[in-house]
Amino acid sequence: MATAAELVGWYDLSWKGGAFEICFRPGGYFFCPRFQAPARWELEGDVVRIDWAKFGKYEMQVSADKSMEGNAIPKNTEDESNWRKAAFKRPLSQEEMVLIGDGAGTEWDFAWTGGSFPVQFKADGYNHFKCEDFPAHAHWSLEGTTLRIDWGEYGNYELKINAPEQTMAGGPIGGDWDKDWRKAKLLRNLVDSKVVEFCEHH
């Protein structure tokens, strides 16, 4: 029987309407790029339970190969859109792990030519990016080793993550990174408060 730690990773979730990617993150955080919500997951025995906020609740039985089969709650065998299946796709990358930490996210020392300040990469259902010194409704996304920060009124940035060294470097998208650079180094993993944070912007 798989443990919760062994189930962490990316899956293809299928239902009557098609298939899309979902992610079981450490610490019971559930993420779906296409249908974002403050969601959680848990493993009880060999059954995964998902609380997907406005997108509903689900339960699926886990097989030895980490594939899952189940349904939306309440179960309704007469409803042909009630079933759900999940197939394991890939584990979290080193870059994802260094950003997600223990599950809640991480705090970094973010530097530029004018100094440095702490920022947080939240591993909530929206991938929020938080900076108390320069507050904005901001998000982060990751593709391979490239981190993108959409920082609202403060602009958009790309940085390359060096996972083994727990650092990143880059700058504003379209800018001259030799003169206008950004760098960051990991400070700490955020503590899981067990509280699902809602966002008025979503």
pLDDT tens digits for range 124-177: 999 999 999 999 999 999 999 999 999 999 999 999 999 999 999 999 999 999
**123 within 8 A of 139, measured Cβ to Cβ:** no
Hunting for tokens 């079933």 — which residue is that? Answer: 83
* Residue 60 confidence (pLDDT) above 80: yes
Predicted confidence at residue 82, as pLDDT, reads 96
In this prediction, residue 2 carries a pLDDT of: 86
Contact assessment for residue 20 and residue 92, using Cβ atoms and an 8 Å cutoff: no
According to the model, what pLDDT value does residue 73 have?
Answer: 97
Asked if the model's pLDDT at residue 89 lies above 80, the reply is yes
Residue 34 burial (C-beta neighbours within 10 Å; 0-12, 13-18, 19+): exposed
Give pLDDT, residue 192: 76
- Average pLDDT (86-113) is 97
How far apart (Å, rounded) are the C-alpha atoms in residues 120 and 197?
15
Asked whether the beta carbons of 157 and 171 are under 8 A apart, the reply is yes
pLDDT tens by residue, 69-79: 999 999 998 99
pLDDT tens sequence across 4-50: 999 999 999 999 999 999 999 999 999 999 999 999 999 999 999 99
pLDDT of res. 202: 55
Res. 53 pLDDT band, cuts 50 70 90: very high
Measured CA to CA in angstroms, residue 201 lies from 37, 128, 136, 153 at distances of: 11, 11, 11, 15
Q: Give the residue-averaged pLDDT of 102-131.
A: 96
What is the pLDDT averaged over residues 71-96? 96
